[in-house]
A and B are shown apart, each in its own frame.
Chain A
Amino acid sequence: DIQMTQSPSSMSASLGDRVTITCRASQDIGNYLSWFQQKPGKSPRRMIYGATNLAAGVPSRFSGSRSGSDYSLTISSLESEDMAIYYCLQSIQYPFTFGSGTKLEIK
């Protein structure tokens, strides 16, 4: 199975900060990487697909990038509504595997 190593597991940032979350894949997954946001008691929401593509309705302050086997989700200017847990997902090979999640808190 492909392992997705996500970091950090938690972080705290101030409103307006630039925030970056990273996932590293244990094998080549190309651009088959998505990012999801999950708020308490809610279903996951897709934010980024294909490593760099913004999903419909997602604010433009969110972006995705790739450098080799490292994938990043960046929030350019943190807003209070961004407080959530973020997960990456690889979908190139079954079983699909999620990262362990990053809990983002507002200072």
Chain B
Amino acid sequence: QVQLKESGPGLVQPSQTLSLTCTVSGFSLTSYNVHWVRQPPGKGLEWMGRMRYNGDTSYNSALKSRLSISRDTSKNQVFLKMNSLQTDDTGTYYCTREGIYGGYSALFDYWGQGVMVTVSS
């Protein structure tokens, strides 16, 4: 069945780099786009960026200078790296998928469980 699972360190020091992994199963990264969405505690959802099925990426301009998304299709993994972390980067980070066929019917139908990241010294 379709699954996405985020993993990474729960605690990151300010100014350091966050590295997260989204491991997927039940579908191919060459047929789906994978997006990252984050949520500060008690606040709303923010779209961060996307790894396209063909390897292209798109980023939220507010984060673009700090954010990098990559993948390893052989391992069914998509990676998020964000540098210069600050306390307001604390929150839950989710990965979710978008099918390349079916238009908006295939958008964000499955999500990972999320990983909580705390930025603190």
* Secondary structure dominating the interface of A: loop
Chain A interface residue bracket vs B:
20 to 34
Residues of A within 8 A of B108 (CB): 34, 36, 44, 46, 89
Instruction: Known contacts A43-B94, A49-B104, A50-B103; decide if A87 and B45 are in contact (CB<8 Å).
Output: yes
Instruction: Known contacts A43-B114, A44-B111, A96-B47; decide if A49 and B105 are in contact (CB<8 Å).
Output: yes
Taken together as a complex, chains A and B put the C-alpha atoms of A84 and B108 apart, in Å, by 18
Verify if A5 is at the interface (C-beta below 8 Å from B): no
* Secondary structure dominating the interface of B: strand
Verify if B44 is at the interface (C-beta below 8 Å from A): yes
Verify if A65 is at the interface (C-beta below 8 Å from B): no
Verify if A100 is at the interface (C-beta below 8 Å from B): yes
| Contact present for A43 and B104 (CB under 8 Å) | no
| Contact present for B113 and A91 (CB under 8 Å) | no
From A46, A49, A56, A98, B47 is in contact (CB under 8 Å) with A98
Taken together as a complex, chains A and B put the C-alpha atoms of A89 and B108 apart, in Å, by 10
Closest B residue, CB atoms, query A50? B104
Residues of B within 8 A of A43 (CB): 94, 111-114
| Contact present for A95 and B47 (CB under 8 Å) | yes
Residues of A within 8 A of B109 (CB): 46, 55-56
Verify if B61 is at the interface (C-beta below 8 Å from A): yes
| Contact present for B105 and A97 (CB under 8 Å) | no
Q: Which residues of A contact B (CB under 8 A)?
A: 1, 31-32, 34, 36, 38, 43-46, 49-50, 53, 55-56, 87, 89, 91, 94-101
- 9 A-B residue pairs with CB within 8 Å: A34-B108, A43-B94, A43-B111, A43-B113, A44-B108, A49-B104, A49-B105, A94-B58, A101-B45
Q: Which 10 A-B pairs have the closest CB atoms?
A: A43-B111, A96-B47, A95-B60, A98-B45, A50-B104, A101-B44, A94-B58, A49-B104, A100-B44, A95-B47
